[in-house]
Amino acid sequence: MSVKNEFSKYAKEYNNFNIIQQIAAKALVRDIKSKPKKILEIGCGSGQVYKYINWEIERYDAIDFSPSMCELHPRGENIEINCFDFDSREFEVFLKNKRFDIILSSSAMQWSKDLKKLVKQLSLSTDEINAVLFTSNTFKTIQDITKTSSPILSVEKIKEAFLNCFICEFEIHNYNIEFDNKKDLFDYIKKSGVSGGSSNLDFKKAKKLYKEYTLNYLEFEVIFVKTVSKI
């Protein structure tokens, strides 16, 4: 299943399973000191970033590639929601000649097919980006057991993409979520929006994982990126 289809399939249940995403979104907004008036959010989901903004804004542009997610996002006179992929030509056209006080992204940019190109495009429309991305160390034990590689970018690749255009501050945080049983744990993997389709292992690997995964928690690693200035 593609990343897009996975998000759309579980959109209605997403807010019950995106615990880490909600923690990240809250921290992302809390660290904004400038109270920007014109904001672009990419990968807006159901609005977990927007709901934490508690200052007056002039315009809030939000994009997400899942129609089901876009339907759940808060509406308002100064909110414009567009449903398209931030890796698409459509997004390039959208950005042309636009300026934003800040561009925000929480738990989304790690899915970019070319993060370095995306950051470069964003740098033409703003001087400030605040973002949180999952890293390839998320679900590390699962990858070790199944001998599979993460579909998510590594810390090094993420840093490289941003440092190509900006001087940045980075913070890495690790989280664990505990579960009462294996069923709840594996349901979370499917519905949390973190697996990126990698939860659909073949029968042999899935059986091996269920048998050998002895932890009662899942591992998550996120990197907070705050641009300081352009290069």
Tokens 């429309």 map to which residue? 125
Query: 199 pLDDT band (50/70/90 cuts)?
Result: low
- In the chain, the domains with their CATH numbers are 3-136+151-176+220-230 (3.40.50.150)
Predicted confidence (pLDDT) per residue in 143-179, tens digit: 999 998 898 999 999 999 999 999 999 999 999 999 9
Query: Three-class SS of residue 170?
Result: strand
Predicted confidence (pLDDT) per residue in 75-108, tens digit: 999 999 999 999 999 999 999 999 999 999 999 9
DSSP annotation string for 172-216: EEEEEEE-SSHHHHHHHHHHSS-STTTT---HHHHHHHHHH---S
Candidates 9, 10, 194; CA nearest to 107 is 194
The DSSP 8-state label assigned to residue 101 in this structure reads: S
Predicted confidence (pLDDT) per residue in 106-147, tens digit: 999 999 999 999 999 999 999 999 999 999 999 999 999 999
Phi first, then psi: what are they for 92, rounded to 5°?
-60, -45
Query: 196 pLDDT band (50/70/90 cuts)?
Result: very low
**pLDDT at residue 21, rounded to an integer:** 87
